[in-house]
C-alpha cells in the first residue's frame, strides 16, 4: 500500500483492533467529536487498504461526506502526498455511505443492504461505522443481534453513543449510561472527556478484551478534532 506512511504515524495504532468482527464504541456527550473520531478510525482503515461502510442514522449523505473531505484535507495538510487526487479517489472507492432515517434503521434492513452489496460483488466491506445509533431506546437483544450480524459477516464495527450529563449510572468497568449494561459486548470503548485546557482526552476501557488499560495519553485537538499524542 502506497499510503502506509500516512497510517504508521497515526496515533490510532494503539487501538489494536486487528482481528475482524470486533466491536468498538466511542462515547461522549454531544459535540465532543464522536463523529470526527469515527471518521478518523474509518480513514485509518481505508488507508490500510480496508473497505468501510459508514452507516449514518439521521444524517444525510452530503453531511457525512463532508466529514470525510474535511478530515482527509487535514491529513493531507500534515503529510506530503504525491498525487492528492489519486488518494481522494482511492478513499471514495473504499468508502460507502449508507444513511437511514432513524425509523428506517433495523438489523434486518442493514443485513439486506449489506447482502445487496456483497452478493453482487459491488462492495465487500471490512469495517462498519455506525454513527447515530440510538442506545437510549435500544435493548441488549438488539445489540446482540447486530453483534451476531457483524460476526457472521466478519465485519469490524465501530459505534458511537451519546452520554448524558445528568445520567450518572456507570458499569463496574467504568462505562457510563446508556451503555453501562452492555459494555461486555464491545472489545474497545473510548470515552471522550473534556479537560480543563479545552482539549479532549481519549480514555480507553476494555481494550481488546484486556480490561481497563486506561488512558494512553491521546487527545483530540479541539480546533481540528484530530487525534494527537500528548
Partner 1 sequence: MKKDLSKVRNIGISAHIDSGKTTLTERILFFTQRIHAIHEVRGKDGVGATMDSMDLERERGITIQSAATHCTWKDYAINIIDTPGHVDFTIEVERALRVLDGAVLILCSVGGVQSQSITVNRQMTRYKVPRIAFINKCDRTGANPGRVVQQLRDKLGLNAVLMQMPIGLESDLEGMIDLVAMQAVYFDGDQGREIRREAIPAHLQDEAQAKREELLDAASMFSDELMELMLEEGDIPEAVVHEAIRRGTLSLGLTPVMIGSAYKNKGIQLLLDAVATYLPTPMDIENTALDLNDEEAEKTVSNDPADPLVALAFKLEDGRYGQLTYIRTYQGEVKKGDTIINSRTGKKVKVGRLVRMHADEMEEIEEAGSGDIVALFGVDCASGDTFCAPELSWSMSSMHIPAPVISLAIKPVDNKAQINMAKALNRFTKEDPTFKTYVDHETSETIISGMGELHLEVYIERMKREYKAEVEVGAPQVAYRETITRRADFDYTHKKQTGGSGQFGRVAGFVEPLEEGEYEFVDQIVGGAIPREFISSCDKGFQKSLDKGTLTGAPITGVRITINDGAYHAVDSSDVAFQLAAIGAFRQGYDKAAAVIMEPIMKVAVEGPSEFQGAVMGSINQRRGVIIGTFEEGSYTVVEAEVPLVEMFGYSTTLRSLTQGKAEFTMEFSTYKQVPKGLADELIKAFNEKKKES
One residue of 74, 81, 117, 138 binding partner 1 per CB under 8 A: 117
One residue of 4, 5, 8, 60 binding partner 1 per CB under 8 A: 60
Q: For the chain, what is the radius of gyration of the CA atoms?
A: 17
Minimum distance from residue 64 beta carbon to partner 1 (Å): 7
Nearest CA to 132 out of 110, 108, 155, 150 is that of: 110
One residue of 101, 148, 152, 209 binding partner 1 per CB under 8 A: 101
Minimum distance from residue 156 beta carbon to partner 1 (Å): 20
Nearer to partner 1, 9 or 115 (CB): 115
- Residues 6, 34: Cα–Cα separation, whole Å: 22
Minimum distance from residue 66 beta carbon to partner 1 (Å): 12
Residue 150: all three cell numbers together: 457483524
Residue 103: all three cell numbers together: 425509523
Minimum distance from residue 120 beta carbon to partner 1 (Å): 5
Nearer to partner 1, 1 or 61 (CB): 61
Residue spans of beta strands (DSSP E) within the chain: 23-28, 52-57, 95-100, 127-131, 156-162, 188-194, 200-205, 218-220, 227-229
One residue of 21, 92, 193, 199 binding partner 1 per CB under 8 A: 92
Nearer to partner 1, 86 or 144 (CB): 86
Residue with cell 480543563: 196
Query: Is 124 near partner 1 (CB under 8 A)?
Result: no
- Residues 99, 102: Cα–Cα separation, whole Å: 9
CB 205 within 8 A of CB 221: no
- Residues 126, 45: Cα–Cα separation, whole Å: 9
Query: Is 80 near partner 1 (CB under 8 A)?
Result: no
Query: Is 99 near partner 1 (CB under 8 A)?
Result: yes
Nearer to partner 1, 127 or 226 (CB): 127
Binding site residues, partner 1, CB under 8 A: 60-61, 64-65, 85, 89, 92-93, 96-101, 103-105, 109, 112-113, 115-117, 119-123
Amino acid at each position: 500500500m502506497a499510503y502506509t506512511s500516512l497510517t504508521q504515524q497515526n496515533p490510532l495504532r494503539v487501538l489494536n483492533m486487528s482481528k475482524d468482527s470486533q466491536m468498538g464504541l466511542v462515547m461522549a456527550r454531544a459535540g465532543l467529536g464522536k463523529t470526527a473520531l469515527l471518521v478518523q478510525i474509518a480513514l485509518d482503515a481505508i488507508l490500510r487498504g480496508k473497505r468501510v461502510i459508514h452507516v449514518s442514522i439521521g444524517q444525510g449523505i452530503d453531511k457525512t461526506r463532508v466529514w470525510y473531505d474535511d478530515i482527509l484535507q487535514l491529513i493531507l495538510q500534515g503529510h506530503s502526498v504525491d498525487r492528492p487526487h489519486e488518494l481522494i479517489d482511492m478513499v471514495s472507492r473504499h468508502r460507502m455511505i449508507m444513511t437511514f432515517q432513524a425509523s428506517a434503521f433495523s438489523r434486518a434492513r442493514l443485513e439486506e443492504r449489506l447482502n445487496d452489496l456483497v452478493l453482487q460483488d459491488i462492495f465487500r466491506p471490512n469495517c462498519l461505522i455506525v454513527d447515530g445509533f440510538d442506545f437510549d431506546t435500544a435493548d441488549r437483544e438488539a445489540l446482540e443481534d447486530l453483534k451476531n450480524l457483524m460476526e457472521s459477516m466478519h465485519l469490524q464495527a465501530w459505534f458511537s453513543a451519546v452520554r448524558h450529563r445528568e445520567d450518572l449510572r456507570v458499569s463496574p468497568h467504568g462505562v457510563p449510561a446508556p451503555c453501562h449494561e452492555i459494555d461486555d459486548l464491545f472489545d474497545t470503548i473510548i470515552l471522550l472527556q473534556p479537560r480543563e485546557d479545552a482539549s479532549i482526552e481519549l480514555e480507553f476501557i476494555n481494550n481488546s478484551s484486556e480490561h481497563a488499560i486506561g488512558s494512553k495519553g491521546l487527545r483530540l485537538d479541539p480546533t481540528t478534532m484530530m487525534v494527537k499524542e500528548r
